[in-house]
Structure 1
Amino acid sequence: MARPFIARYWRGLLAAVGALVLIAAAGHWAEQRELQAKTQALQQAAAAQALGLRGLVEKHDFLPHAVARHPGVQDLLRLPQDASLRARANDYFADLQATTGAAALYLVDRDGLTLAASNWNTPSSFVGQNYRQRAYFEDAVQGRRGLFYGLGLTTGQSGLFIAEPVRVDGAILGVAVVKISLEALQATWMGGLEPVVLRDSRGIVFLSGVPEWLYQAIRPVSAQDARWIAEHGQYGKRTRFEVLPWKIEARPDGVGFVLRTQVQGQRRTLLALDTPLPELGWTLTVTSDMKEVAQARRSALALTALAVALLLLGTLYWRLRERRFVEQRTARLELERRVDERTRDLEEAHAFRKAMEDSLLVGMRARDPDGKIIYVNPALCAMVGYSAEELLGCRPPYPYWHPDDLEKQARESDEALQGRAAPHGFESRIRHKDGHDVITMVYAAPLVDAQGVHRGWMSSVVDITAQKQAEARQRDQELRLQRSARLASVGEMASTLAHELNQPLMALSNFAMAARALAAQGPSDLLPGALDEIVGQSQRASEIVKRVRAFINPQRGQYEILAMVDVLTHARALLEPELKAQGATLRLLIEDAGARVRGDRVLLEQVLVNLVHNALQAMQDQPRHRRTIELACRHSEGGLRIGVADQGPGIPAGQLDQVFSPFFTTKPDGLGLGLNICRSIVEAHGGAIGVDNRPGGGATFSFTLPIVP
């Protein structure tokens, strides 16, 4: 009797221990799975918030640079007492502020005194205020770009200040400053459910969705840092910064941390993730509540306990059947009743889980190890336009794969099925059933069942089409703004050139014609011909001036249909004397002699003459047998491509992006305007210009023009 009793006791004890271990393992697995999903969502949220912050700063980053180079701003710094210059600068700042949406723009002289501002006509005007103590002023007046976040000394409103030194004739005469307000971003954070925090390099929170955390630090602020903050008025009159009431616990995987704190008087446990923004000197912290993680663990524990209970009930039922055959019917009915109740509970839990999956905005797709689709949610079906019945059972290539990216998508699918998909996701273009393109981000993760068996791969698909379109629109707007600024600068210089040179050139023409008339009375045969050449050249110079004016005012331009071969041939004829003088050869390569463009002949010839002049100067140190220039005209995608290739030393890689910038030059006596004007002329003709280094040495400057049918 004792031995069977002891054996049953140990079997029961082992079964209970095994059941507890299984329940605990299931709870831990569910907790880790939910924690992993929440971490991925938090990483996406952090990336989106960081992208928004960088986009807000980059949107206004160019303003101080542009303001510092405006002639009216530089003139005001030279003559700060000139009321008319001050009025024009105030109007310019106010118009620029209204156009860009910046909080304020203003100009400070070397002593920190504000000369002009966009809010000059408001009670809180910056004009007359001194900002010498500001860190951005100290950086800019020493020739560095200033970046500083703090409370306004005049308005008391916080903002990000970006400063640029204003150089006039090589000397720094003042500082151009733009102020960007982040209050709208903070208002958005305050309206959210999950706290978001932005802190500076000293750990002080200056932007937060939780108001009581503002101007508290993640660690004690040193006395030296506190003095620096007070001296520069960064956070108003605050001299003390309390430590945040945070209890931080590191996670074993090193991704983020667990944050225990109080928000609005309530205890909360948050999953937090830090994202450094080194270019701004800030750290962004996004959080997410851990309630769902605890709930997932409790649900898994309950379901596993229910399964174990069912197993135990089955075992007890079998033993009771052996012992009490007479009570079999009653016991079976009771067990069936309990099983029905548990089944209903499981069905309700399954229906609830399915409702949650169907409500997701992120597309979900499960595939077996061979790539066959075994599950899709409604969000994915709406994203691709195919029903679940059309997708389930499909193998690669899937019907929504883009026909132009089949090879790329097949490669990405194979990498995902082999477990080599990028952990941060990859971008994929798909084709909706109705024919339009959808840009997505795809994140892949292993699909493991409750027994730990790998059943396939689960993919999360996020539609980022709207985000891509918004980024493209923003880039297009920035390019248009840069082009307008460039054309305005070149236009002002060209107008000055036209005004200063037109009268001397016309006077030269008049003197030359008078000289020809006098020479005609004498017996000399060579003098009239030489004077004819003077008249022709002076008239051509006058014509160039007129065309430059026409370039400034397109309504006065003389555009016509031109055979490009005539333009190239005439340009070569103009350059023939200089080519002979330098012992250089110009090879003309024309693919289609009948190609035509619409443009101004003189301006296009000036572009070619300028590019060939640059090529000659680049080859002046080369032996005579290497002084060969190729002037080629070929068809290219969407137009006609004209290239000027030399055999000089080429252009350093670090300067390829700067050669077309105004005032950039590598010549000791150059102004840095020739290539910039060439680019403006080509763009005015609807084309584009660029430069590349040749593999064998030398550089090729080429531009494209639209072809006239």
Structure 2
Amino acid sequence: MRAPASGLRRVALWAAALGLALLLIGLAAAWAERREARLQADSVRRSMEVHALALRDAAGKYRHLPFTAGLHPDLRAALERPRDAAAQARANRYIAEVNREAGSDALYLIGADGVTRAASNWDTPQSFVGHSYANRPYFVDALAGRSGMFYGVGQTTGAPGLFLSAPVRSDSGAVRGVVTVKVSLHPQQAAWAYARDPILLSDARGLVFLSSVPGWLYHALRAVPPAEMDRMRSEQQYGPRPGFPALPWRVDREPGKPGESGEGGEAGYLVRTELGGKSRRFLAVDEPLPELGWTLTMLSDHAEVARAGERAWLLGTLAAAVLLLGGLYWQLRERRFAEQRNARRELELRVRERTQALDEAHAFRKAMEDSLLVGMRARDAEGRITYVNPAFCTMTGYAAEELLGRLPPYPYWHPDDVAQHWQHYEAMMRGEPALSGFESRLMHRGGREVITMVYTAPLVRADGTHAGWMSSVVDITEQKRAEQRQRQNDEQLQHAQRLASLGEMASTLAHELNQPLMALSNYASAAKAFAQQGRADLLADTLDETMAQAQRSAEIVRRIRGFVRQQTAGTEACAVDALVANALALVRGDMRQRGARAQVRIAPGLAPVRGDRVLLEQVLLNLIANALQAMEATPPQDRTVDIDAQACGGRLCIRVTDRGPGIPAALAEQVFAPFFTTKPAGLGLGLNICRTIAEAHRGRLSFADRPGGGTVFTLELETDAP
């Protein structure tokens, strides 16, 4: 009976030992799986930090490009003058240059109606110019005065990208248009192709728009409501797609599983799917990117966790059977540690590469800021200067080290405008900066004046707190000088036109003066004879006539001198009948020589106009002279110049009508162009200067065909009525 009992005890001991061994091996296997799951989750999180940083950098480095580009005067001119081809061409060239230097995918300017005015790809078959993007959210947000951000498929090119937009404001602060930069995320997706496990990026609706697995693109993590589908179709976010199929996943979220927010303390969930024709199981970890509205999801092969448990079972079984296998287990463990160290070194290498790429991107952004012609100046909430770029230092003549940390009064304030500088500074500190910018005169360190336009906006930290103020300072000194030179050139052109008109009237002037001079000679001879005869009464009458003819000659000379002098009398109240009469007096001789006549019809009670009398007479004189020249081939009995003046819609309209052949339709667009003329000896400046004078008086000069032949020129002016 002992042998069977001993055998039973031995079996019991072996069974107990086997059970204990299995228990220990099971505990070891469970510990190995938990450990592998933690390592795997840590590795996923470190990788996600790198990818998330790359995505944030891709969006962040171009965030301020639309706002900065929208400050350029060429873009504002393109919005204000949409039919000006030259302005549109300048805007296209500027946008193309900025896009090329920034390295963005596309940069374009959209009008308030949603139609693209200028684009960096204006000269390509897929040009954005003329296309409407009014349905795009980034346009709607920017038109409302906010910065816009939107990821979607391009309506014109069909290529996806991230769209960042900013409003373009007029001097009054109104939004006149939108500048949008398109940034491609293809480099990030291309980098994911080298990742060992799948990576995907989804939007707020749960739609996958970026993935290292091409078959998962444009699949939905969850059902999309019909209203959201209608909105996406309206915005054409992902092109003309009928729907978004569900992502081919089966998600396990059982508590206590490795990777769950349970005992392991690791956020994540298990995913079952097919990849490469094989059923796979992954640990999925999500990383929200709230500032972008996206969610980054990384998957890691969960088979490693299962294999870790299997290895523990195998090693535990062998260790329980043979002590030698303990050494083998140690070697396997060391090998595993070596693999982890290699993986860690590989990860560190990748982090260093990413860091180097970020440093290079930072260096590129700094180089771009340094190359800007616009001065940038940042101040903290106390008014202390915290940043200046090289353009601002060049503008003021002070080095950055001399300006950083300075409080007002700043050394570059103009001594004559200190009170104005303090006024703008105090308004900024109260949170009331001039949204449309203001003109400011600075004093360069070398003593010369610098005229600038300053635009100030608040600096806001990531948490929404106010950090200070950022100012864009544009040097407009040369622009001001150019405007002054333009005014001087306009005056010279006006003077040249008066001289040209005077030259055309030279023969008329000689004829006008010849008559009173001959009369003076005749009256002088008669006065001499009457004096010899002693006829005092006839002598007095003759002398009176002599004085009248002398005054007539002086009046003719006075009118010509007043017309030809360059410096005019300035703004005054001008009666319409006096303007017409003075202009007709200067061409009366020319009208007699040509056998022409004038019919003047001036409505009674017309209010005077406010303006420069000499310049307004120059406009009427030029129009009348052109009418006379246009009727050279007209029969003498029909050579009539009609001059009408009457009130029209709260303004004064003066019409000069000839009965010539009219203006051909092919030349109608060039009538007011400078240096365009049909006269053999003309300068081609008369009508151009006339229109400039009319617009300077806030008026308008236009023309139309006269029924029956001829041309009607209409001068519209504002009246001086109270």
Change (3 A) 1:270 1:235: same
SS at match of 1:221: coil
TM-superposed deviation, 1:192: 2.9
1 CA distance for matches of 2:45 and 2:296?
Answer: 12
TM-superposed deviation, 1:304: 1.0
Change (3 A) 1:672 1:16: farther
1:184 maps to 2:194: no
TM-superposed deviation, 1:306: 1.2
Q: Deviations over 1:653-698 (max 9, x none)?
A: xx7xxxxxxxx738x99938579999xx9xxxxxxxxxxxxxxxxx
2 CA distance for matches of 1:57 and 1:672?
Answer: 33
1:269 maps to 2:252: no
Change (3 A) 1:677 1:187: farther
In structure 2, which of residues 261, 269, 275 is the aligned counterpart of residue 257 of structure 1?
269
Alignment correspondent of 2:339: 356
2 CA distance for matches of 1:171 and 1:557?
Answer: 30
Change (3 A) 1:198 1:676: farther
1 CA distance for matches of 2:248 and 2:393?
Answer: 64
In structure 2, which of residues 181, 184, 197 is the aligned counterpart of residue 194 of structure 1?
197
Change (3 A) 1:261 1:468: closer
2 CA distance for matches of 1:7 and 1:271?
Answer: 47
Alignment correspondent of 1:293: 305
TM-superposed deviation, 1:144: 1.8
Change (3 A) 1:469 1:610: farther
Question: In 2, are the aligned partners of 1:665 and 1:672 still within 8 Å (CA)?
Answer: no
Give the AA of the match of 1:243: A
Q: Deviations over 1:584-625 (max 9, x none)?
A: xx9xxxxxxxxxxxxxxxxx9644859975897799xxxxxx
Alignment correspondent of 2:74: 72
Task: Give the alignment's TM-score, normalised by structure 1.
Answer: 0.52
1:141 maps to 2:124: no
Question: In 2, are the aligned partners of 1:197 and 1:286 still within 8 Å (CA)?
Answer: yes
1:173 maps to 2:176: yes
2 CA distance for matches of 1:255 and 1:618?
Answer: 52
2 CA distance for matches of 1:49 and 1:25?
Answer: 36
Number of aligned residue pairs: 417
Alignment correspondent of 2:477: none
1:455-534 aligned at under 5 Å gives the runs: 471-485=358-372, 487=374
In structure 2, which of residues 420, 429, 438 is the aligned counterpart of residue 671 of structure 1?
438
1 CA distance for matches of 2:26 and 2:344?
Answer: 32
TM-superposed deviation, 1:478: 3.1
Q: Deviations over 1:626-652 (max 9, x none)?
A: xxxxxxxxxxxxxxxxxxxxxx99957
Give the AA of the match of 1:246: W
2 CA distance for matches of 1:14 and 1:58?
Answer: 64
Q: Deviations over 1:170-228 (max 9, x none)?
A: 11111111111112322332343311100110000011111111111001111111100
SS at match of 2:78: helix
CA RMSD, Structure 1 to Structure 2 (Å): 4.1
Alignment correspondent of 1:223: 226
Change (3 A) 1:291 1:673: farther
1:552-591 aligned at under 5 Å gives the runs: none
In structure 1, which of residues 30, 33, 47 is the aligned counterpart of residue 35 of structure 2?
33
1 CA distance for matches of 2:223 and 2:64?
Answer: 36
In structure 2, which of residues 93, 96, 120 is the aligned counterpart of residue 94 of structure 1?
96
Give the AA of the match of 1:151: V
Question: In 1, are the aligned partners of 2:427 and 2:433 still within 8 Å (CA)?
Answer: no
Change (3 A) 1:91 1:195: same
Question: In 2, are the aligned partners of 1:115 and 1:128 still within 8 Å (CA)?
Answer: yes
Change (3 A) 1:176 1:608: closer
Q: Deviations over 1:294-317 (max 9, x none)?
A: 222111111111111237xxxxxx
Change (3 A) 1:184 1:248: same
Question: In 2, are the aligned partners of 1:161 and 1:177 still within 8 Å (CA)?
Answer: yes
Alignment correspondent of 2:673: none
- Gapped regions of structure 1 (runs ≥ 5): 312-338, 363-378, 380-459, 491-550, 565-574, 576-585, 587-603, 620-647, 656-663, 682-698, 700-709
SS at match of 2:145: coil
SS at match of 1:131: coil
1:16-31 aligned at under 5 Å gives the runs: 16-31=18-33
1:307 maps to 2:319: yes
Alignment correspondent of 2:84: 82
- Gapped regions of structure 2 (runs ≥ 5): 254-259, 378-390, 403-407, 449-467, 469-722
Q: Deviations over 1:317-336 (max 9, x none)?
A: xxxxxxxxxxxxxxxxxxxx
Moved more, 244-253 or 152-161: 244-253
Alignment correspondent of 1:205: 208
Give the AA of the match of 1:665: P
Question: In 2, are the aligned partners of 1:166 and 1:173 still within 8 Å (CA)?
Answer: yes
Question: In 2, are the aligned partners of 1:226 and 1:239 still within 8 Å (CA)?
Answer: no
In structure 2, which of residues 163, 177, 185 is the aligned counterpart of residue 161 of structure 1?
163
Change (3 A) 1:270 1:676: farther
1:548-627 aligned at under 5 Å gives the runs: 606-607=412-413, 609=415
SS at match of 1:60: coil
1 CA distance for matches of 2:397 and 2:8?
Answer: 111
2 CA distance for matches of 1:488 and 1:670?
Answer: 14
2 CA distance for matches of 1:91 and 1:62?
Answer: 20
1 CA distance for matches of 2:422 and 2:126?
Answer: 58
Change (3 A) 1:76 1:49: same
Identity %: 36
Question: In 2, are the aligned partners of 1:665 and 1:671 still within 8 Å (CA)?
Answer: no
TM-superposed deviation, 1:154: 0.8
Q: Deviations over 1:347-376 (max 9, x none)?
A: 7536644653564453xxxxxxxxxxxxxx
SS at match of 2:372: helix
1 CA distance for matches of 2:166 and 2:72?
Answer: 12
Q: Deviations over 1:244-270 (max 9, x none)?
A: 111112313351111111113221111
Alignment correspondent of 2:694: none
Indicate the structure whose relative CO is greater, using CA pairs within 8 Å and at least 6 residues apart. 2
Alignment correspondent of 1:524: none
Give the AA of the match of 1:240: G
SS at match of 2:63: helix
Give the AA of the match of 1:286: M
TM-superposed deviation, 1:67: 1.8
SS at match of 2:205: coil
TM-superposed deviation, 1:155: 0.8
SS at match of 2:252: strand
Question: In 1, are the aligned partners of 2:271 and 2:282 still within 8 Å (CA)?
Answer: yes
1 CA distance for matches of 2:146 and 2:433?
Answer: 22
Larger radius of gyration: 2
Question: In 2, are the aligned partners of 1:610 and 1:674 still within 8 Å (CA)?
Answer: no
TM-superposed deviation, 1:4: 4.5
Give the AA of the match of 1:109: G
Question: In 1, are the aligned partners of 2:107 and 2:120 still within 8 Å (CA)?
Answer: yes
Task: Give the alignment's TM-score, normalised by structure 2.
Answer: 0.52
Give the AA of the match of 1:356: E
Question: In 1, are the aligned partners of 2:163 and 2:183 still within 8 Å (CA)?
Answer: yes
